[in-house]
Amino acid sequence: MKRELVVVLASGGMDSAVTTAIANQTSRLAFLHLNYGQRTAERELQAFKELAEFYQVEKKLVINVDHLSQIGGSSLTDTDIAIAQADLESTEIPTSYVPFRNANLLAIATSWAEVISATKIFLGAVEEDSSGYPDCRREFYDAFQKVIDAGTKPSTQIEIVTPIITLKKYEIVLKGRELGVPFELTWSCYQHEDTACGVCDSCGFRLRGFEKAGLQDPIEYAERPVYQ
């Protein structure tokens, strides 16, 4: 029997879908989606809703986080900054970095978890094989855990869980297949909402992941370059 209620930060992408499948094995799900003014917000919300239905989640909350686009500084939220083409080997922080985004999302998730008495927050952060955002590293989540411990009521116990943080993208694909994740419902493209572009960083990592896993990505792409 699944006793524990947990919050899952669900963007609608494949990483959070696999994370959802993992959380779903042991827990009741409270599904949280944050629309932070990213270009593909509508498409991601659709993916979130379809995944919520697929996993028959117990609670669902969609929050508009307008302030991240109001603050700007990222190609994801500011249409004056172009979305860069995929450069999977770059060690620079890309223009798609939304300043301190994940702290904002985790703060919201913690507020909700505290109010609904959820005991964990699951999120699909990936440290390696991702765009190198500073707020996707384990060190960041370890630090945030201490903020939760210090900044919530003494009776509140909320643990951050990042079950795929050390996995490579192809391992996430394989894990997802093992758990029956409906990849056809997920959305990863940073740029388009109709057909995935295939050339932004996010499409690049995803396509390479499926390629290395020896599986076919079930969604459609405008272009389908082969990434090494």
Rule CB under 8 A: say whether 153 interacts with its own copies: yes
Distance CA 217, CA 189 (A): 13
Q: Assess contact for 99 and 70: CB atoms under 8 A.
A: no
> How many residues contact its own copies, by CB under 8 A?
45
Rule CB under 8 A: say whether 31 interacts with its own copies: no
Q: Assess contact for 138 and 127: CB atoms under 8 A.
A: yes
Q: Which is nearer to its own copies, 65 or 179 (CB)?
A: 65
Q: Which among 83, 81, 76 has a CA at the least distance from the CA of 38?
A: 76
CB of 12 to its own copies, least distance (A): 18
Which residue in 45, 59, 60, 63 binds its own copies (CB under 8 A)? 63
Rule CB under 8 A: say whether 79 interacts with its own copies: no
**Any bridge partners for residue 64, and if so which?**
35
Q: Which is nearer to its own copies, 162 or 186 (CB)?
A: 162
Distance CA 226, CA 228 (A): 7
Rule CB under 8 A: say whether 97 interacts with its own copies: yes
Rule CB under 8 A: say whether 110 interacts with its own copies: yes
Using CB under 8 A as the binding rule, the residues of this chain from 129 to 148 that contact its own copies are 134-135, 137, 139-140, 142-144, 146-148
CB of 30 to its own copies, least distance (A): 11
Q: Assess contact for 204 and 83: CB atoms under 8 A.
A: no
DSSP letters of 107-125? HHHHHHHHHHT--EEE---
> What are phi and psi for residue 40, nearest 5 degrees?
-100, 30
Rule CB under 8 A: say whether 70 interacts with its own copies: yes
Distance CA 189, CA 209 (A): 14
Rule CB under 8 A: say whether 111 interacts with its own copies: yes
> What are phi and psi for residue 203, nearest 5 degrees?
-65, -40
CB of 98 to its own copies, least distance (A): 8
3-class DSSP assignment, residue 209: helix
Q: Which is nearer to its own copies, 9 or 207 (CB)?
A: 9
Rule CB under 8 A: say whether 100 interacts with its own copies: yes
Q: Which residues bind its own copies (CB under 8 A)?
A: 61, 63-68, 70-73, 93, 97-104, 106-108, 110-112, 114-115, 134-135, 137, 139-140, 142-144, 146-154
